[in-house]
Amino acid sequence: MEIYILLGFVLILSIYLGLELISKVPSTLHTPLMSGANAISGIALVGALVLGSDTQLQQVLAFLAVMFASINVFGGYLVTNRMLKMFKKK
Amino acid sequence: MSFFENISSIQNIIYIFSSILFISGIKMLGKEDTAVRGNFLSALAMFIAVSVTFINVINPILVFVGIGIGAIIGSLIALKVKMTSIPEMVALFNGFGGLATFFIAWSEFNSIPSNNFQYLLVMITTYIGGVTFSGSVIAYGKLSETLKVEKSSIITKLFTTLFYISIIYLLYSIFITKIFSPGFDFYTILLIFTLLGGVGFVIPIGGGDMPVVISLLNSFSGIAAAFAGLLLLNNVLIVAGSLVGASGLILTIIMAKAMNRSIGNILFVGYASSASASKSEETGEVKPINVSDAYLILENASSVLVIPGYGMAVAQAQHVVRELGELLEANGTEVRYGIHPVAGRMPGHMNVLLAEANVPYDVLVEPEDVNPSMDTVDVAVVIGANDVVNPSATEEPGSPIYGMPIIEVHNARTIFVLKRSMSSGFAGVQNPLFFKENTRMLFGDAKESIGGLVTEFKE
């Protein structure tokens, strides 16, 4: 139980930190921020990598989780980069 | 200390390092000058976190094939997608992130959760991940206009009911099944209810409220990852997931504020039922104008403000708009673009389209910057925007959109409204702007109308 309290602590602090960091984003960056954040949520890939694979079902689930998280990671970062490159100053 | 404990500590230290990179990355993503580097830092953080996790991989072939296929599909979508399709693409990617956590939770359920808290986490992660996935698929359908469902239709009502049932069933799964283990496969039923629930969550929400829904689903995909991190006792998942959850939440709040509505009202009520039909009968006549007269007025203007809306995206008019802007500037006119936060179908939608057309971002202004000096604007050109320039929001206390911050173009000297027809905007509210003394309606396709103006300027 101790570990969950500790990790819960990390969770709360990270959310709070995120709210503080992002609270003043100019509207120009709303879309890139969202798609960049979306790429970060592909961090689920790290979780997918360590899944057990004792049964056939688990192997299929692990494979699918890895694949979809990878789409999210690669697609998310590339499209964000593509978008940000378009933003130019006068 | 054994060898394996050492490895695991090093791994955790590297996770902390990766978390720091994620935090700096997302911070830098919030400023124009550093955004590209911020995105790169966060990609680096991802690379480091994933690489160091390879130590634990049980089945490397499976993993490499999975990453390979995912990388190819993801890269192809990202490089091929048109900028006008960005909203639905982001919705789809949100969904994939959610789906990955849905599978993680499902797999963990089969590893037999060891304690009650883990059991609860499995149920919650399954639910958030699944709702994010199926909700995003519906959002994708709505944004790409492949899915059209009336809000009042029986299908909408059915799925909305299923959404509420799915929440009740989730609570049942969390609290009751551990005490009285049911004689049936309750978890498979939870999986199904979760997916149906996500459909029911998004299906009643209309097009104009999409910026809020996308932001919220974005937030959910992060929260799902953070819960998966709790489940797998992995700190980098928790940190990165929480950051995404927070950023999505902030965008949700910004969008809701820009509509002067609560998040609850947007998600569960919608305009149709909150609005008790606007009383104001619009009298007076609209004054149409043709392209050559509009040209004469624009030619003599010294300050022009362009207000784009979803209509500009639909007409794909961003490139001709930029061309017109350049011609006006060459003519000595000051050109600015007034961007309302909820114009379009996702946060920042108009900014991306204009950036694609090479409009520099420093001529884009937000409502609060431009409203005080609106009376110095000679011509305000409204392109396919409606509710965000509706003066009822400031003048008519009974109106359903009263109180919503708008771009107050009605205070400009002359207003051109480019529109296909006289239909009302998403909120279903008639727009008195069209009947104002100084408003001229330029009917027709926005791209053609502006193209006409460009031709006039060149001649």
Contacts of A14 (CB under 8 A, 6+ apart): B226, B238, B239, B242, B243, B246
- Would you call B143 an interface residue with chain A, using a CB distance cutoff of 8 Å? no
Please give the mean pLDDT across all residues of chain A: 92
Q: With an 8 Å Cβ cutoff, is B149 touching chain A?
A: no
Whole-complex ipTM: 0.96
Residue A43: pLDDT over 70:
yes
B78/A59 CB distance under 8 A: no
Nearest Cα to A36, choosing from B134, B333, B407, B26? B26
Whether residues B236 and A73 touch (CB distance < 8 A) is answered with: no
Do residues B97 and A59 make contact, with C-beta atoms less than 8 angstroms apart? Answer: no
Closest CA to B295 of B359, B375, B370, B381: B381
Q: How many Å lie between the alpha carbon of A35 and the closest alpha carbon of chain B? A: 6
Taking CA atoms, B317 is separated from B83, B216, B340, B450, in Å, by 12, 29, 17, 8
Can you tell me the distance from the alpha carbon of B322 to that of B330, in angstroms, rounded to the nearest whole number?
A: 12
Q: What pLDDT score does B178 carry?
A: 77
CB contact under 8 A, B107 and A8: no
Distance of CA A83 to the CA centre of its chain: 18
Question: Which 8-state DSSP code applies to residue B268?
Answer: I
Cβ within 8 Å, pair A77-B39: yes
Contact B440, B414 (CB under 8 A): yes
Say whether B129 sits in a helix, a strand or coil.
Answer: helix
Contact B215, B252 (CB under 8 A): yes
Name which of A26, A46, A52 is nearest B53 (Cβ-Cβ): A46
Identify which of B25, B234, B366 has the shortest CB distance to residue A46: B234
pLDDT attached to residue B283 = 59
Q: With beta carbons under 8 A apart, name residues in chain A contacting B248.
A: 34, 37
The three-state secondary structure class of B348 is coil
Which of A51, A70, A85 is closest, CB to CB, to B104? A51
Please give the span between the terminal C-alpha atoms of chain A, in angstroms, as a whole number. Answer: 56
3-state secondary structure (DSSP) of residue B439: strand
Contact yes or no for B246 and A15 at CB 8 A? yes
Which candidate in B33, B185, B387, B445 is catalytic?
Answer: B387
Contact assessment for residue B222 and residue A40, using Cβ atoms and an 8 Å cutoff:
yes
Instruction: Tell which of A4, A5, A7, A14 to mutate to test the B interface (max B CBs under 10 Å).
Output: A14
Give the separation between CA B441 and CA B434, rounded to whole angstroms: 7
Please name which of B290, B309, B316 lies closest in space to residue B389, comparing C-alpha atoms: B309
Report which of B125, B147, B108 is spatially closest to residue B221, judged by C-alpha positions. Answer: B125
Closest alpha carbon to A86 in B308, B352, B312, B85? B352
Angle at A11 between CA B27 and CA B38, to 5 degrees: 15
Alpha carbon of B166: minimum distance to chain A alpha carbons (Å): 22
- A44 Cα to chain B: minimum distance (Å): 6
Nearest to B87 by CA among B268, B342, B262: B342
At A37, the pLDDT band (50, 70, 90 cuts) reads very high
Would you call A66 and B111 a contact, using CB atoms and an 8 Å cutoff?
no
pLDDT at B427: 67
- B225–A44 C-beta distance less than 8 A: yes
Contact status of B30 with chain A (Cβ, < 8 Å)? yes
Give alpha helix (H) positions in B29-115.
Answer: 35-53, 60-80, 86-110
Residues B384/B309, Cβ–Cβ less than 8 Å? yes
Reported as type and span, the H/E element at residue A8 is: helix A2-22
Chunked into runs of 10 residues, chain B (459 residues) has average pLDDT values of 74 94 94 94 97 89 95 96 89 96 94 83 96 96 84 86 94 84 86 96 86 94 96 94 95 90 82 47 74 90 93 90 93 93 89 92 91 92 90 84 89 90 71 88 90 89
Measured distance CA(B1)–CA(B124) in Å, rounded:
36
Shortest distance, CA A71 to any CA of chain B (angstroms):
4
Give the count of beta carbons closer than 10 Å to the beta carbon of residue B56. 13
For the segment B100-126, what is each residue's pLDDT rounded down to a tens digit? Answer: 999 999 999 988 767 888 899 999 999
The pLDDT of residue B459: 81
CB contact under 8 A, B247 and A37: yes
Band the pLDDT of A58: cuts 50, 70, 90.
very high
Query: Which residues in chain B are contacts of A46 at CB distance < 8 A?
Result: 49-50, 53, 234, 236-237
Chain A closest-CA separation from residue B153 CA (Å): 32
> How many residues comprise chain B?
459
Chain A residues in contact with B61 (beta carbon < 8 A): none
How many beta-carbon pairs below 8 A join chains A and B?
373
Shortest Cα distance, chain B CAs vs residue A9, angstroms: 10
Q: Which helix (H) or strand (E) holds B428?
A: none
Residue B226 and residue A11: Cβ atoms within 8 Å? yes
To 10 degrees, the CA torsion angle through A51, A57, A60, A61? -50
3-state helix, strand, coil in chain B (%, to 5): 65, 5, 30
Hey, what amino acid is at B294? A
Residue B332: strand, helix, or coil: coil
Q: Which of B19, B34, B59 is the best residue to mutate to test the A interface, defined by the most A CB atoms within 10 Å of its own CB?
A: B59
What strands lie across the sheet with B439-443, from one edge to the other? B364-365, B334-338, B303-308, B379-383, B414-419, B439-443
Report the C-alpha gap between B250 and B254 in whole angstroms. Answer: 6
- Please indicate whether residue B387 is annotated as part of the active site: yes
Q: Is the Cβ pair B39, A30 closer than 8 Å?
A: no
B373: Cβ contacts below 8 Å, ≥ 6 apart? none
Q: Comparing C-alpha atoms, which of B96, B70, B97 is closest to residue B241?
A: B97
Q: Is B123 on the interface with A (CB under 8 A)?
A: no
